[in-house]
């Protein structure tokens, strides 16, 4: 038996044959935090010190693991993720992306539901008190004044996702919602649709306003009038999409195309059209926004704006981890602002407007 790696801890703990991060620190003559930084590849360690630590790791045949790293120097990052989203498809993509990235980076992710009501502040305070290092806010909480006030007051590093704006000191991951909506509206006009209906998102979210602005801008750029009757209010939920579509199709001059601010509401528009005996896209073009899994699970599959939801959540985890490392290193910089690319994805739900009377079922 090789006894050189077996030792008794100074605090009287039981013996073990597996070297720990504390053993490495003792042999190298440095702190466990320094060893942790070398293991994590952080750049705030002098090269000479880094070499000594690596030599100690090699001599002890030390293999870092999550438990040792967590106990030794709190090197494992704990991130909180507050969620509240009416779209299950959006939320699923967001959670999958963030959990995947957390696993890759040895990051512990604490997922907490937070409904948009009077308990927002309480839930946020409870998560802060749990000791998380930073917090990620996907929509709609990314625009919650109550939650943001709690986090800013507690000085908890925060990243918001899919919002049109962020407070000073808060990181942000987004796409250009206005440009995306402008491109989709221009696409519908180019197909020959003179009357394009628009279903807005939740008015409390800045992204909703950006998408509506993009719709208006495209009409103005094409020298088309902005008819307020063609703008129906939605809340990003399927139910609100049903109501908004009914409102648009009940107009004396209904639209030949409907652009919904997310795929859930677009799916609702398709359902209402079918219920009324309208063919999509023969009688009514319907397009959405997000490119969630729902876009390809209904028929016809939706033409939509691809928002890289999973990539945005991955980027948010990476961004927040880097913000925390910069804070620990004393190299705090301005909060990053990352804009990812969007794509207009054409499928089967859009077409040129029908030039004959619409077909209707009995």
Half-sphere exposure for 241 (CA within 13 Å, toward CB): 25
Q: What are the tens digits of pLDDT across the range 11-41?
A: 333 334 567 777 888 899 988 667 766 775 6
Provide the pLDDT for residue 232.
98
Least confident of 13-22, 76-85, 137-146: 13-22
Model-level pTM greater than 0.95? no
From residue 5, alpha-carbon distances to 19, 20, 52 in Å are 6, 10, 18
Which candidate, 190, 219, 358, 185, places its Cα nearest to that of 283? Answer: 358
* Structure confidence at residue 334 as a pLDDT band (50, 70, 90): confident
For residue 16, what is the DSSP state? B
Q: Which residues contact 308 (CB under 8 A, 6 or more apart)?
A: 175, 340, 341, 342
Which candidate, 287, 298, 267, 284, places its Cα nearest to that of 345? Answer: 287
């Amino acid at each position: 038996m090789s006894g050189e790696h077996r030792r008794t801890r100074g605090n009287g703990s039981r013996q073990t044959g597996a070297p720990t991060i504390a053993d490495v620190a003792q042999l190298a003559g440095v702190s466990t935090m320094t060893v942790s930084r070398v293991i994590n590849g952080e750049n705030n360690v002098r090269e000479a010190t880094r070499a000594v630590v690596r030599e100690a790791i090699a001599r002890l045949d030390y293999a870092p693991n999550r438990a040792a790293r967590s106990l030794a120097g709190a090197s494992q990052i704990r991130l909180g993720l507050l969620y509240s989203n009416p779209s299950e498809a959006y939320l699923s993509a967001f959670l999958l992306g963030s959990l995947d990235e957390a696993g890759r980076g040895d990051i512990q992710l604490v997922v907490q539901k937070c409904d948009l009501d009077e308990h927002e502040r309480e839930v946020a305070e409870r998560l802060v008190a749990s000791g998380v290092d930073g917090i990620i806010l996907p929509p709609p909480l990314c625009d919650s004044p109550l939650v943001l006030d709690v986090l800013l007051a507690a000085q908890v590093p925060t990243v918001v996702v899919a919002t049109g704006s962020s407070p000073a000191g808060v990181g942000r991951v987004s796409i250009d919602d206005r440009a995306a909506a402008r491109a989709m509206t221009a696409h519908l006009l180019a197909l020959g649709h003179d009357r394009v209906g628009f279903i807005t998102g939740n008015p409390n979210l800045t992204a909703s306003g950006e998408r509506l602005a993009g719709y208006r801008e495209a009409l103005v750029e094409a020298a088309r009038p902005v008819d307020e009757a063609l703008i129906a209010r939605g809340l990003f939920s399927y139910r609100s999409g049903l109501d908004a579509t009914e409102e648009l199709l009940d107009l004396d001059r209904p639209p030949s195309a409907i652009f919904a601010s997310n795929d859930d509401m677009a799916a609702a528009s398709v359902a209402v059209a079918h219920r009324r005996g309208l063919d999509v896209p023969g009688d009514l073009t319907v397009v959405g926004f997000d490119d969630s899994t729902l876009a390809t699970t209904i028929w016809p599959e939706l033409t939509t704006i691809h928002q890289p939801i999973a990539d945005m959540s991955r980027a948010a985890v990476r961004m927040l981890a880097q913000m925390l490392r910069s804070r620990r290193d004393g190299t705090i910089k301005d909060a990053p602002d990352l804009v990812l690319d969007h794509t207009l994805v054409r499928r089967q739900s859009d077409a040129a407007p029908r030039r004959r009377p619409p077909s209707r079922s009995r």
